[in-house]
Amino acid sequence: MEQVERLLKRTLPFQVVSPETLDGIAEISRHEVFKAGEVIYGAGQPAEEVYVLVSGRVAHRIDPDIKARVHEKELQVGDVFGWAAILEGEKVRLADVACIEAAEVLKIDGARLLELLRKDVNFGEAALKSFSQLISQQYYLPPSVSERVPTTLSKVGDTRTPASNEAEPQTASAWTLTMYRAGEWLRSPDPYLMMVGFALMLGFWYLTVEVLKLPRFEDLPGLTTVVKEWFAEDPVYGMSIYTAEYYQHIWVSIRRVAIAFLLATALGVPLGLFLGWSRSFREYVFPVFELLRPIPILAWVPLAIIMFSGSETPVIFLTFLASFFATALNTMLGVESIDESYTRAACCLGANRWQVFKEVIVPGSMPYVFTGLQISVGVAWFSLVAGEMVSGQYGLGYVINTSYTMVRYPTIIIGMVTLGIVGYTTSAMVRVAGNYMMQWRLREMALGGR
């Protein structure tokens, strides 16, 4: 008996079940010995028992009418066969099985085995799943067969389960996953330490400015003053979440960044792709690019004011310029990062230059492009603020600068925090969009264990 159990424990479907179930299976299994050349069963016969090979060599030949990738197979000791006995629907042998040498097998009654597995609440399902894996992976049969393995979820006597039952436990929905992660996060010390960090930062601000009134610190707007002003229905300095002006400034800034960012992406990505793709194009264009790049974007401010009339275009131009360099450069690096052998393989398979560009260069550089776009949003906000502070009307940078000159100190902080929030939101949006469009890469990274 123990020997039987030890053997069962080595087989793929039964190694997962609970000890009690294993006992039960061992009880219902019977020994049988076949001589060399003897047929164990033939295709088309009724299937009642599942077999486990204990010793000897057995040839397994799947019925040619059934679509399997491999039809002939020699079974090893510990292999499970005759699983047709537990399939749902017609229980008919799908293969001819004959002994090459004298063989010893365990015969397990299919119906009773299923009953036992259904009773095993914890592991029965896993055992059934490994049966279906066994069918598809070791016997190379299509899903139409492996999906006929019942699940414990289905009622006894239910002849057919929808195929979706099979996949459901594997792919948790995004929502459950998020909830699970949130739960894990709450159980870790991280959120509480984070609170400690915030408390320390805000407490430092509050204490030094408003309670202790340390020299120099007392000139700064205090925490409570800023919060009161921000959420005041009737703000002292004229700007809070209740005033339309606040939203107008935010809107103007976002609009500028959006225009500049879209323009920079529309021009920068193609330029970067061409720079990386064509050697001669790069050699002609890149030197000028490199000549202009070391000049800080903000040094362009006066020149932008001279070149473009009005107060709106110079700011947008500056923001555009910053984004443009970041996007183009990263796209070019992305193209250069593509493994040369992909291009060669595509060429060998007869792709022309345009096809290589479309099928290899563009998707291959995508990860870098999105990194570039994230950087580009960041620098766009960076130079927008500078542009707005120096020239321009409206916008958050303008708010910060005028609040300083008009001694509305709490409004400066409101402007800064708002900038931080809006800036963070926009880069998060770009990141999410990037992850969404590059799910293949996330999957690749997840598979690589990163």
Chain contacts with other proteins (rule: CB under 8 A): 189-190, 193-194, 196-198, 200-201, 216-217, 219-220, 280, 283-288, 291, 294-303, 305-308, 381-386, 389-390, 396-397, 400-401, 403-404, 409, 412-413, 415-417, 419-421, 423-424, 427
Judge contact between 393 and 311, C-beta under 8 A.
yes
Taking the alpha carbons of 83, 85, 88, 90 in that order, is the dihedral positive or negative?
A: positive
Q: Give the shortest CB-427-to-other proteins separation in angstroms.
A: 7
Based on CB atoms, which residue is closest to other proteins, 37 or 302?
302
Phi, psi angle pair for 55, to nearest 5°:
-155, 165
Burial of 308 (0-12, 13-18, 19+ CB in 10 A): middle
Parallel, antiparallel, or unpaired for β 103-109 and 49-55?
Answer: antiparallel
Based on CB atoms, which residue is closest to other proteins, 127 or 412?
412
Q: Give the shortest CB-206-to-other proteins separation in angstroms.
A: 14
Question: What is the spatial distance between Cα 369 and Cα 321, in angstroms, rounded to a whole number?
Answer: 17
* Tokens 């099985």 belong to residue: 97
Whose CA is closest to 13, among 168, 150, 130? 130
Q: Give the shortest CB-275-to-other proteins separation in angstroms.
A: 12
Judge contact between 346 and 357, C-beta under 8 A.
no
* Tokens 């580009």 belong to residue: 376
Based on CB atoms, which residue is closest to other proteins, 368 or 381?
381
Based on CB atoms, which residue is closest to other proteins, 342 or 382?
382
Name 41's Cβ contacts closer than 8 Å, sequence gap at least 6. 47, 82, 93, 96, 97
Q: Largest Cα–Cα distance of the chain, in whole Å?
A: 102
Whose CA is closest to 63, among 77, 43, 37, 33? 43
Q: What percent helix, strand, coil does the chain show, rounded to 5?
A: 65, 10, 30
Based on CB atoms, which residue is closest to other proteins, 57 or 282?
282
Based on CB atoms, which residue is closest to other proteins, 51 or 398?
398
Q: Give the shortest CB-357-to-other proteins separation in angstroms.
A: 22
Based on CB atoms, which residue is closest to other proteins, 122 or 425?
425
User: Residue 170's CB: how many other CB atoms inside 10 A?
Assistant: 7
142 DSSP 8-state letter: -
Judge contact between 49 and 108, C-beta under 8 A.
yes
Based on CB atoms, which residue is closest to other proteins, 286 or 342?
286
Q: Give the shortest CB-313-to-other proteins separation in angstroms.
A: 10
Q: Give the shortest CB-177-to-other proteins separation in angstroms.
A: 22
Judge contact between 20 and 83, C-beta under 8 A.
no
Judge contact between 308 and 300, C-beta under 8 A.
no
Based on CB atoms, which residue is closest to other proteins, 200 or 262?
200
Q: Give the shortest CB-197-to-other proteins separation in angstroms.
A: 4
Q: Give the shortest CB-416-to-other proteins separation in angstroms.
A: 5
Q: Give the shortest CB-366-to-other proteins separation in angstroms.
A: 21
User: Residue 225's CB: how many other CB atoms inside 10 A?
Assistant: 17
